[in-house]
Amino acid sequence: MNTVYFFILVPMVYIAFAVFIIGMAAQVIRVLKKPKLNASLRIYPEEKPRWFWSIFDSILLPTVWRHNKALWFFLIAFHASFILVFLGHLELITEMKWIQLIKHEIFLGKGFVGLIMSIALLFFLFRRFISPTKELSVPEDYFLLVLLFLTVVFGSEMDWARRWYDYGEMSVDAYRSYLSSIFLLSPKIADVTTSGHSFMLVLHVFFANLFLMFFPFSHLIHSIFAFSLNKIRRG
Amino acid sequence: MEKRIREELLALFKSKLSRPMEMYLETCARCGICTEACHAYASMPLPKYTPAYRAEVVRRIYKNYFRWQGKTVPKAGECKKLDETIIDELKEAAYSCTGCRRCMVYCPFGIDTQQIMSIAKLLLVGAHAEPELLSLLADVSISKGESIDSFKEGFLEGVKNLEEEVVEKWRHEAGRTPIPTEVVGAEILYVALAGAHSIIPAAAIFNAAKENWTLSFFEAVNFGAFVGDPTKTKIIMDRIINEAKRLKVKEVCICECGTAFRVMSQLSGSRPFKVSSITEVHSRYLKEGRIRLDKSKFNVPITYHDPCQIARNGGVIDEPRYILSHLTDNFIEMSQDPKYNWCCGGGGGLVALGEETLDFRMKSAKVKAEQISKTGAAILATACENCHTQLSNLNEHYKLGMNVQFLSSLVSDALAK
Ligand code: SF4
Ligand code: SF4
């Protein structure tokens, strides 16, 4: 079991990050190498400055707001939570004073951020079972949502256990010692593998690794292309 | 499908993989937000008529041959092989889409289904499965460009026959030709359609504005764009570009034809002359006081259908409204926001295919007919030949009781001395 834990918590993490970074770079370079189109694909009327509206469109999703308010609500809640969770992980690697301007125990959001993400992911998943989104969806779409849901649920569970159920065996310091050691390239897993709760972390990291590895090769590449595409639409 | 044919088709596919196209194909989250945008789906709610479903037909081939997924886990993305069975699917997808790009306004990423459908159309051309009529019409346009001298005489004679009617509409200074051709150094080269309705009102208005203009030998419509053949599209467009360069005109004015205007103004790169739609030119004449209109001419409510390729995709939105404000005090907007106007249902070559597509055109544009009917207007004006034909068909089919008119005809009929 120890070997499996070690594999997931150390080498697999490095592999996942390598695949993610190289994959993302390769995708972007591949697209950049394609010829530009000598044409305008914009939609009118124009609003200026165009760069501002492209960013506005990409971040605030006004078209979704206009056409599907419920989906807009879950999309914004999900993406905002994603950013908070990302910041939370950064805080586990290194202390960042500026985030503590809002006084909090790591993670931000008192456990509710993970809950919101989980609910949003279930919403995204279940709406795929309804026509016509059902006919549009391919197995990959369900797979990614399930994978992310599992990552989020196991990750949040550690937060919830500490906050809501007084489960004190694995502390923020234990997570921090593990994650920062990974980033300092001198992995230490002892603090996070001895508790009865360790399997939660191992599962969280396992699903997160898989998610990272699939990310660049799926439509999640929208995290980058959304900005360029909205710029094309804005002209 | 023979290996050689498949390879040829894949080479055609590859030729369409520009930077934006790659992003369009990679990014769709299959969220379905665009679903309600398509008039075909709104009128006939079948999944195959949703924009993203159409795009998926192409995307699944893309993933199979151009992405890792096709080589590793094709089932994960439901990747599809390029074979005979998919040709029918491509045809259904491409020729049930009018290329109106209303879905692009809905999509959070701005994915352009018209662009993706241009791959489907090109594959159909490569597989000789495209609507033959469109290719035939494109070929006729091309051969006209190649042998201009042989049809010149007939063309000039035809134009001569129209002059009397032009003068009836607007009697201008004696000695000037009502329909000038081959004027080197003219301000405007007017590119019309084959048909008196596209030439007579326009000529009368140019003459009323005392414009130094000249009529093009070629018709504006680009059947190459309808059939989705980039080579033919370019040849057809180049005939006009070369003529404009030869005559050293300052501006090319495209008649009421949405596709011709969009291809020339948006899709042809930079040119040494300005490109305008005839609506823009008329609006300019009014602003500059070069023409005046008699508002008492039409005492009924008028509504205006924004042709997709001219408004949402071409940027001519305020100009027709400006013209209409000089034609009537009783203008009724069709859509609260012109960007969201429903497509007439006749674009993308569907109207050019005539009877063959009539049933689909009528069924898929039910929402359009409802939208028009809600305006309660008596005159339905528009500024595109395709839209005009489709709207007239809808008018008849849904018994809307409207008077469908070209905006330019209304202008020429209301010209005041
Ligand atoms: S371009 Fe228009 S017709 Fe084509 S899928 Fe989009 S909304 Fe439908
Ligand atoms: S709205 Fe855009 S991303 Fe969503 S399914 Fe339609 S084309 Fe794809």
Three-state secondary structure of B48-80:
HHCHHHHHHHHHHHHHHHHCHHHHHCHHHHCCC
pLDDT confidence of B298, banded at 50, 70, 90? very high
pTM of the model: 0.94
Ligand 1, atom 6: nearest CA belongs to which residue? B103
How many distinct structural domains can be found in chain B? 3
Residue B312's CATH number: 3.40.50
Q: How many domains does chain A have?
A: 1
Q: Please list the residues that pair with B319 across neighbouring strands.
A: none
> A141–B106: do the CB atoms touch at under 8 Å?
no
The atom of ligand 2 lying closest to the CA of B32 is: 5
For residue A135, which residues of chain B lie inside 8 Å, CB to CB? 47-48, 50, 53
How much is the pLDDT for B195? Answer: 86
Interface of A with B in 50-109 (CB under 8 A): 57-58, 61, 63-64, 66-68, 71
Computed over every residue of chain A, the mean pLDDT equals 92
Residues B107, B145, single domain; the answer is no
Name the one residue in this structure whose structure tokens are 């000039």.
Answer: B156
Give the structural domain span for B332: 295-413
Which helix or strand (DSSP H or E) is residue B124 part of? helix B113-126
Range of the domain at A63: 2-234
Q: How far is Cα B182 from Cα B94, in angstroms, rounded to an integer? A: 39
Same structural domain, B305 and B405: yes
Chain B: residue whose CA lies nearest to A54: B109
Model confidence at B174, pLDDT cuts 50, 70, 90, reads: low
Q: What percent of chain B has pLDDT over 70?
A: 99
Average pLDDT over residues B147-173: 85
In this predicted structure, the answer to whether residue A94 has a pLDDT above a threshold of 90 is no
Average pLDDT over every residue of B107-111: 97
Q: Which B residues in the span 300-339 are in contact with A, Cβ-Cβ below 8 Å?
A: 311-315, 317, 338-339
In a mutational test of the A interface, the residue from B31, B111, B116 whose CB has the highest number of chain A CBs within 10 Å is B31
What pLDDT, on the 0 to 100 scale, is given for residue A110? 77
CATH (domain of B89): 1.10.1060
For chain B, give the mean pLDDT: 94
Does residue B145 sit in the same domain as residue B279? yes
Q: Which of B109, B129, B149 is the last residue of a domain?
A: B129
Both B165 and B33 in a single domain?
no
Cβ neighbourhood burial of B233 (10 Å; 0-12, 13-18, 19+): buried
Contacts of residue B307, Cβ cutoff 8 Å, sequence gap at least 6: B258, B344, B382, B383, B384, B386, B387
Amino acid type, B382: T
A218: nearest CA partner in chain B: B26
User: Average pLDDT, stretch A199-208?
Assistant: 94
Range in B62-66, B71-75, B268-272 with the lowest mean pLDDT: B268-272
Confidence of residue A105 (pLDDT cuts 50, 70, 90): confident
For chain A, the C-alpha Rg in angstroms (whole number) is 20
Distances, alpha carbon B42 to alpha carbons A68, B69, B392, in Å: 15, 33, 21
Tell me: do B357 and B381 sit in the same domain: yes
Domain boundary among B104, B129, B154: B129
Q: Which amino acid type is present at position B222?
A: N
- Averaged pLDDT, A111-134: 95
The answer on B102 and B40 residing in a single domain is yes
pLDDT in tens, B19-38: 999 999 999 999 999 999 99
ipTM of predicted complex:
0.94
- Domain endpoint, select from B232, B260, B287: B287
pLDDT-based confidence at A191, cuts 50/70/90? confident
- Model pLDDT, residue A163: 77
Query: CA nearest A55 in B: which residue?
Result: B109
Burial class (CB in 10 A: 0-12, 13-18, 19+), B327: buried
Domain containing residue A141: CATH number = 1.20.950.20
Domain match, B69 and B205 both: no
Token code pair at residue A223? 């995290």
Q: Same structural domain for residues B274 and B354?
A: no
Which-ligand-closest: CA of A61?
A: 2
Statement to judge: residues B213 and B249 lie in one domain: yes
Same domain, B76 and B193: no
What is the C-alpha separation between B396 and B344, in angstroms, rounded? Answer: 14
